Amino acid sequence: MKKLGFICSAILCVAFACSSPAVDGTSENTVEIRSSTPRPTFRVELSTTPTPPMETPTLQSLVCSPLGGETLQELTEIITQPFKTPRATQDDGHHGVDFAFYRRKELMSIDGLPILSTLDGKVVTIISDKYPYGNAIIIETQLDSLSPDLIEKIRIPEVQPTVAPDPKFNWTPGEFSMKLDTSKKSLYIVYAHLKYPAEVSVNDFIKCGQRIGQVGSTGDSTNPHLHFETRIGPSGASFDSMAYYTAQSTASERYNYVIWRVTNLFQLFDPMQLLSVDG
């Protein structure tokens, strides 16, 4: 395990440690994942490679509505499915909040409505028509770019210990790697089920209120809606893609999906904690 630990020192590495009664040498850079027996114990090692600060000259104190023509206050009127905390090790619940409407104001439907970035941040992941998110964008905002006042208003949760996903998830721990900066935390926002492929590119810096796409119904969706999802995790994360286990998904997509949704490495919280803050 020492050799493996060395190899993985600059990357995220999830490795089985079935024969070890305990994983020692745990440092502040090592997240130990233990599951109740009889599941195997494995650990995640994380780099402290510093990520450069984002280009935000002043601390952000503004939250923007993610939907064109709707104020933050109006969002509560168009929630069609609220956030529901999943059970530990499982991929159930509802990981975000859904917004949709028919016949509202002068519009017949939310279909095609502009989606706007809620915070300043950087595009770190673009998902192209994969189950369940469909066309989706993940934007990262480093917590140290937010004003203390805003952080307090959002009531950002403590990150819970990582968990070993239920064995039913078809993935292989340690199979792929990911660069992360564990010296900083970021807020990650998913905008999912977009009508068209992303209008932005990975590494683009986006401003609060900037248009990033249009509401659609791609992925696991039967009617046009915006699925808006928020997580706290180590800075610097980026996924090539991610997808649930299907005949079409690749091993890499399934791995990313499980790391993102089931391990707690990216701590889920109710997006309305962010969207209830006055803009």
Closest separation in Å from C-beta 134 to Zn ion: 11
Measured from the CB atom, the residue of 95 and 122 that comes closer to Zn ion is 95
Measured from the CB atom, the residue of 81 and 250 that comes closer to Zn ion is 81
Residue nearest to Zn ion (CB): 227
Per DSSP, the residues of 95-135 read SSEEE--EEETTEEESTTPEEE-SSSEEEEEEEEEETTTEE
CA distance 218 to 238: 21
Measured from the CB atom, the residue of 43 and 225 that comes closer to Zn ion is 225
Closest separation in Å from C-beta 226 to Zn ion: 8
Measured from the CB atom, the residue of 94 and 207 that comes closer to Zn ion is 94
The CA dihedral of 274, 121, 259, 115, to the nearest 10 degrees, is 70
Other Cβ atoms closer than 10 A to 254: 21
Q: Can you give the binding site for Zn ion, defined by CB under 5 A?
A: 96, 98, 227
Closest separation in Å from C-beta 212 to Zn ion: 17
Closest separation in Å from C-beta 76 to Zn ion: 16
Measured from the CB atom, the residue of 80 and 147 that comes closer to Zn ion is 80
Closest separation in Å from C-beta 83 to Zn ion: 9
